[in-house]
Structures are given as C-alpha cells and as structure tokens.
Amino acid sequence: MSAMRRWLPITLVLAFSFPATAVSQEGETAPGTAAAQETEAPQTVEDDRSALTDPAEADLDARAAEVAGGLRCPVCRNQSILESNADLSREMQRVVRERLAAGETPEEVEAYFVSRYGEWILLKPQARGINLVVYALPVIVLLLGFLLARNRLRKWASAGAVETSAGATGSGSIGVEDEEWLRDALRES
C-alpha cells in the first residue's frame, strides 16, 4: 500500500506521457485484435476465422503476449500488463505489439520499457549484478542440501551396516513388509 502511494504520482505522470492513454471509447482498437475493426458492418464468424488462422498474425500475438507477461503493470498491484485491464496496461500492450511488428526483438522491447520505467518494470529480474543472487542462491542451497543429505545418509547407512553385522539376527531382521503389517495389525487390536 505504501509503495503504491509512493508510486502513484510517478505512474500517473508516465501514464499521461503516453499520448494515447486517454483512450476515447469510439474507434478504440484493442490490442491483439485480429480482425480489422474499422468496418461498421458486423463481421461473420467465418471472416474472423480466416483472420485468426493467419500464422504471421498469430505468431505476433503469441510473441507480444510473451513479452507482455513479463512486464509489470505500473498502476496495478502485482499484475503483468497482459493480465491487467487498466488503460495504461492495454496501451503498453499495444506498444509491445507495434514494436515487435516493427522488427524489434523481445529484448529490445524490454529495454525500451526499462529505459522508461526502470528495472522495476520487469517481473523477472535481469540476471546481472546483485540480481544474480536470486538465481544462484536457490541452486546453491539445493546442491549444498543435497551434498549434506548424501553425506548424512551414507554415514547413517554405514552405522546401520555396523549395527546389523554386530547384532546379526534378532528383531532387526524381521521382514520389512511384515513389520509394516504388524504395526497396522497392532494398531487395530
């Protein structure tokens, strides 16, 4: 909440710096719309299908969604611009699509938004500098944990081996599966 408040003025300024943010209801073109919207005549389902199956268009949609899913909506809480229906997000989605259509790579589009909003706009931190911590540490923890567990298990296993060879038979040699069954049976009675 407090962070929201801190960001609100900035985002508002940015929002208005987008010329097309104050979207007029008339003639608004939703991003990702395959079919041309200019025509007033109702379109048939068939028209739509041909537009949808245009592979280039579908590919652009998919790439735009991929990029948009990684950009944070500046006026929402924890949503990507793909998920948000705020005007600003939808405008940003349109920009993403246009830039991709103009031949920019996803990285270039991301860089553009980073230059405008700062690194904060990326929902997945760039893997450099201090951010490497967030990528490396889980792997390190998992590996260390694995090594630790392996050593411990081996130690226990060798302790167990010593015990069995010393104690030879006795209750320790009871079959594992009947041990389970005996337990169940005992619980039952």
Partner 1 sequence: MTVTGIAGGFTRRPGLIRIARYGAYFVFAAMSTAFITMEIALLTHDFSVSYVARVGSLETPPYYTAISLWSSLEGSILFWGLILSAYGALVAFVNRKSESRLVPFAGGVMGFVGLFFYGLLTTQLNPFGEVFPVPANGPGPNPLLQNHPLMGLHPPMLYFGFVGLTVPFAFAIGALLSGKLDEEWIRSTRRWTVAAWAFLSVGIVAGAWWSYEVLGWGGYWAWDPVENASFLPWLTATAFLHSVMVQERRGMLKTWNLTLIIATFLLTLFGTFLTRSGILDSVHAFTEGIIGPLFLAFIALVMITWLDIIAWRSDRLHAPGTLDAVVSRESSFILNNLLFVAFTFTVLLGTTFPLMVEAVNGNRVSVGPPYFNMVSVPIGVMLLFLMGVGPALPWRRTTPEKMKKAFLVPVVVGLASVLLGFVVGSRSIWPLITFAFAGFVMATITQEFQKGIAARRRIAGVSAPVALRQILTINNRRYGGYVVHAGIVVIIVALAISGTYRFEREVTLQRGESMLLGDYGVRFDEIWAEQQVQRFVVGSTFTVFHRGNEVGTLKPSMNYYPNSQQPIGTPAVRSTLKEDLYLTLMAFDQEDGRHATIRAIVNPAVPWLWIGGMIVALGAILAVMPQRSSGRPAVSVAEIALSEEPAELAEEPPAVTV
How far are the Cα atoms of 11, 24, 82 from residue 93, in angstroms, in the given order?
16, 17, 7
Q: Which of the residues 83 through 102 are near partner 1 (CB under 8 A)?
A: 83-85, 90
d(CA 107, CA 29): 25
CB-CB contact of 27 with 33 (8 Å):
no
The residue (of 20 and 134) whose beta carbon lies closer to partner 1 is 134
118 binds partner 1 (CB under 8 A): yes
Counting beta carbons within 10 angstroms of the beta carbon of residue 6, is it exposed (0 to 12), middle (13 to 18) or buried (19 or more)?
Answer: exposed
Please compute Rg for the chain using Cα positions.
30
Tokens in use for 159? 């302790």
The residue (of 103 and 183) whose beta carbon lies closer to partner 1 is 183
CB-CB contact of 88 with 15 (8 Å):
yes
Phi and psi of 128, rounded to 5°?
A: -155, 160
179 binds partner 1 (CB under 8 A): yes
CB of 126 to partner 1, least distance (A): 8
CB of 75 to partner 1, least distance (A): 10
Near partner 1 by CB under 8 A, which window of 12-20, 28-36, 96-104, 105-113?
28-36
Near partner 1 by CB under 8 A, which window of 13-21, 30-38, 98-106?
30-38
The binder of partner 1 chosen from 20, 29, 98, 151 (CB under 8 A): 29
The residue (of 102 and 176) whose beta carbon lies closer to partner 1 is 176
